[in-house]
Structures are given as C-alpha cells and as structure tokens.
Amino acid sequence: MFHPRILKHILRSALAAMILCLSPQALSAPTAESFRLPSTPGGLDPLQCWYALGSTPDGSIYIAASDHKTNSALFEKRTDDQVFRYVGDAQQASIQVDNWEAGETLEKFHVRPTYLDGDIYLGGLNYSYYNQGYAKKRGFHWYRYRPSTGQFEDLSAQAPDGTASPFQLEYLIADPKHHRLYGAAVPKGHLVRFDPHTQTTEDLGRPPELKKNYLPSDSFMWVNSRGRVYFAMEGRGGWFKRIHYFDPDSNTFGTMDDWKLQGPPPRKKGKKKQQVKGGLKSAPIGRIPKVGQCDPSGKRCYMSDNNGRIYRWRETHNAEQWTYLGQVRFPAPHEKQRLATRTFQLSADEKSIYMVNERYLGAPDILLHRFDIAAGRSEVIAPLSQLAPEAVGEGRELHCGHNAWDAEGRFYIASFGMSGKGGNVVVTAIKP
C-alpha cells in the first residue's frame, strides 16, 4: 500500500504522461517507410545515388542509381505504387540507338531527375575528378524518360560524336517558362543549355573571371522569371564568395555583388587534412549551395551548402532579395562540430526545412533535423535509426535527396554506403 503522498505523485506523473501522449506533438510524430531498390533485368546493382533523387508535380518519385563503375539506371514510384520499379538504364537505351561504344561506361547520374513538360531528363557523369583525365572518356549523353509511354531513351545519338558535350554533367535544372534545360558541365565549369524540342545543346561558356582550368561546379542552380540562371562556383578569393548569373538576353555572365555566401573557402590544395579515425573522415567543408528547393511559383527558392547554411532568394515585381537565414547545427554539446548533409526538403507551408546529416568524424549520430525558417534555428526530431533502421544499417552512412515530396506529404531520402557497402540503395519516405 502506497503512502497517500507517494500515490498522489504517481497519479500526477501518470496523468502528465497521458497528456504528453495525447499532445499534438506526439500525435504528429514522424513516421517512415523504407524501400530497397531492385537490381535491374540486366544485372546492374544500384549501389549508390549522388543527389539523383527528386519528384514531379503529381508526387511521383524518381531516383537514379548506379554501381559507380559500369552503368546507371532510373527507377520510379508513382503515386499509387507500393514499390520502386526499374524504368530504364543508360547502356540499354544507348545500345538501342547504336550509341554505346565498346568498353563504354556510365559511372553515375549526378543530377536530380529533372521534370519538364511531362518528361524526366538526366545527363551522365562518367569521370568524377577535376583534371585532364576527362578527355579520355566520351562526353555525356542526354537521356529522357516519358512516363506517358514508359520509354527511356538516349537523345544524343544524332549529335556530333553521339554526345551532348565533351564534358560531363554535374548539375541540371529546368526553365519551365522557356521550355529548356540548363546544366553545369565539368571539369571546366561550363554552362550548357538544352532544347528538348530541337534536341540541340549549346555550350554557353563560363564566367571570364575563372582562371583555373578545372574546378567543381555542382552548385544548386535556379532561374528567375526572365530566364536568368543563378549559380555559385567553388574556389578561394572574393569572387567565389558571391552568387553569379548567366543572362540569356545578353548572353553574358555577371555577379551579384551583394549576394554573399557565409561559409569558409575550400581547403588549400596540399593542406593536411584531419586524420581519419575509426574509419570515419572529417566532414567536408562546403561554401556554395548544393541542395535546395523553390516554391511552385518559382518566386522563392531556399538552398543550403553541404554544412547546413541556409539561404533564401525572393523575386518580387521589381526586385530580387538574397537573405542568409541561419545554419542547421547539432544539439549541445556538439553544436560546434561541423555538420555534413546532401538533403534538403522544404515544407509546403515554407515554415520548415528538413535535413538528415551524414556520418562523418565527430557527428554524434545520423539525425533528422528541422530548421525553423522564421526563428532561424534548428532542432533534432529523432535519430534516423529510430525512424528507419534499414536506412542506417550495414554501413549506409551517406544520404541524399532534395525537393522530393509525394502526394501524401512525405519526403524521400536515399541512403547508401561507399564502395557498395550496404548493398542496393535504400529509399525512405518520411512523414514529418
């Protein structure tokens, strides 16, 4: 028999627990469902996915994955589907139009599957280093998937040499108003433009300020209502701290001097890196925006660098605004530890941004974060292992996915390991 005061305390604690369980926060606790990508009919195991996950306006989800050696494939999950299904791969599509040379490979699709006028577009990346070695590989091909017919096709067979460019494609966006695509071509930092109607590719060159022959150019890109393309470039010096643009009316590049980036520059070449411990490397330093999402009107875009610094661009009738909103951080006592992410999911009400960090040296865990846009700060919702154990098991320490939402209000991330650790890519749908 409990003492009355002890019994009162127990009842009060029990009542508080019941209230907590019935609170809106508990009732809206996030849920998750994981899917493993299937191997293709041709025997390709989709082991890695680098930024190549996205959605269409109707909430269908598309992901491109590869073995990072030989071939790359596209998978889809339409609104009523219960699984991801294979829709095509680069090798088979190119063989069908006699545009796959003996010994040719496609290491990966490094671009988000990009929706334009009812179709999905991709471009290949078959060389991942920023040096002269790219010239030993064929240039990239354009690929298109038509959901209306189920056809996955190589669009470059009729182009000179059967390729869109001598370079590789590292980023891709659509300009829906003008019905065209823009891409970042590496390793020399060129901008290319593709017209799906004529199936022609233009090399628009690169900013004249660039002095180095080879450099990364996988910045998040976006387009304003006039068709101006915005982007950033990775490097050291004042010019690299700002956002740049290509203006299609004047065919010139320019710089937005007041649109500044907050992060540190990349490490100097040859500078000693932090020692690897326990098989984990130090988190990469990233200053340029790499992932992001625009609202349906295209008048507001939110974006982040690989370390969680978040920016917003807004277009009004007669002006454009650039704002730094804050940074996603680990909770105390790890708030000074550098965070690394390749994920970015903007809620429909534009109040929250969801991110999953990767497992690098010093990260306390793989966590799902929510960034409060109005407050400019972040909170941890839960360890990913609690929401989706399959997403973090067997060495799956890398996670990607931006602007990938289905019709049920769930966002998607892809999880995988380096060098094939963890098997085929695991895709997780999270209802925040």
Question: Concatenated DSSP letters for 15-33?
Answer: HHHHHHHTSHHHHT--EEE
Does residue 13 surpass a pLDDT of 60? no
Helix or strand (DSSP H, E) at 12:
helix 4-21
pTM of the model: 0.92
Does residue 272 surpass a pLDDT of 80? no
The region of weakest confidence among 53-62, 307-316, 415-424 is 415-424
The region of weakest confidence among 143-147, 282-286, 292-296, 307-311 is 282-286
Query: Which of 186, 90, 175, 181 is closest to 134 using CA atoms?
Result: 186
Tens digit of each residue's pLDDT (9 = 90 or more) over 106-141? 999 999 999 999 999 999 999 999 999 999 999 999
Model pLDDT, residue 69: 96
Domains of the chain (ranges; CATH) run 29-267+276-431 (2.130.10.10)
Dihedral, 113, 216, 219, 118 alpha carbons, nearest 10 = -20
How far is residue 126's CA from residue 141's CA, in Å, rounded to a whole number? 10
**Buried/exposed 333-372: b ≥16 CB within 10 Å, e otherwise:** eeeeebbbbbbbbbbeeeebbbbbbbbbbbbeebbbbbbe
Does residue 19 surpass a pLDDT of 90? no
Tens digit of each residue's pLDDT (9 = 90 or more) over 325-372? 999 999 999 999 999 999 999 999 999 999 999 999 889 999 999 999
Model pLDDT, residue 418: 86
> Residue 307, class by beta-carbon neighbours within 10 Å (0-12 exposed, 13-18 middle, 19+ buried)?
buried
Helix then strand then coil, % of the chain, to nearest 5? 10, 40, 50
DSSP one-letter string for 159-225: SGGGSS-SSEEEEEEEETTTTEEEEEEETTTEEEEEETTTTEEEE----TT---S--------EE-T
Does residue 3 surpass a pLDDT of 80? no
Model pLDDT, residue 361: 84
How far is residue 187's CA from residue 179's CA, in Å, rounded to a whole number? 26
The model's confidence at residue 421, banded by pLDDT at 50, 70 and 90, is: confident
The model's confidence at residue 28, banded by pLDDT at 50, 70 and 90, is: low
**Prior bond to 176 cis, omega within 30?**
no
Provide the 3-class DSSP secondary structure of residue 110.
Answer: coil
**Prior bond to 333 cis, omega within 30?**
yes
Q: What's the whole-number mean pLDDT along residues 151-166?
A: 97
Contact status, residue 293 vs residue 345, Cβ threshold 8 Å: yes
